Amino acid sequence: MSKCAICRAEYERKYMSQPTCGESICKTELRRQKERQKADREEIRLRKEKIKSRRDWLSEAQSVVNLYVRVRDVLDGCISCDLPSTWGGQWHASHFRSVGAASSVRFNLWNIHKSCSICNNFKSGNLGEYTPRLRAKIGDEKVDWLYSQNTPVTYSIEYLQRLKKVFTKKTKRLLERNRNGL
């Protein structure tokens, strides 16, 4: 015997996840409670978003773009060394031009490529190897263009929110395509 989550009356369950006794009043009240909980969670989420700083949005947008790059380059090895894509270690999204040196290309996909954690963390990107491999991958013109981008950029919160939304969708689509073998 089980107790109804609403009226506390005892009842015999017909299936394991049956939370109420089956009376229409109890079912209706349970549905209302779930709707209120959902509305409360949404309100909390919105309040948390309102108090986020530009730095918080910048960090979240960068994380989403980095995830996209790692998914995009899933079959590629490290851009800076000879580690193959089958390496069992941690993969990073490595910036050719660092975020501090060239904020204008921080989110530019020509500037970000999959790299092993060894090159990215312990060898500061391993730029001696990164540069020729990047030139071979995207071409000399694009690499020269990346070098020419030196104007500091401050991204607005609205831009970062939109960027996060766009790259979240792109990542989901790419993951779906990879799952389906396309």
Per-residue burial over 95-113, b if 16 or more Cβ lie within 10 Å, else e, is: bbbeeeebbbbbbbebbbb
Q: Where are the domains of the chain?
A: 55-156+167-177
Segment 25-31 shows an average pLDDT of: 91
CB 112, CB 91: distance < 8 Å: no
What's the one-letter identity of residue 126? Answer: N
pTM score, two decimals?
A: 0.77
Round to whole Å and give the CA distance between 105 and 111: 7
pLDDT band (50, 70, 90) for residue 182: low
Residue 70 binned pLDDT confidence (cut-offs 50, 70, 90) = very high
Q: In this predicted model, what pLDDT tens digit does every residue of 114-150 receive, in sequence order? A: 999 999 999 998 999 999 999 999 999 999 999 999 9
Mean pLDDT of all residues in 154-164: 96
Q: Please give the pLDDT value at position 19.
A: 87
Alpha helices in 14-154 (DSSP H): 24-50, 54-72, 117, 127-138, 140-148
Residue type, 157: I
What tokens does 58 get?
A: 């910048």
**Residues forming a β-bridge with 94:** 113
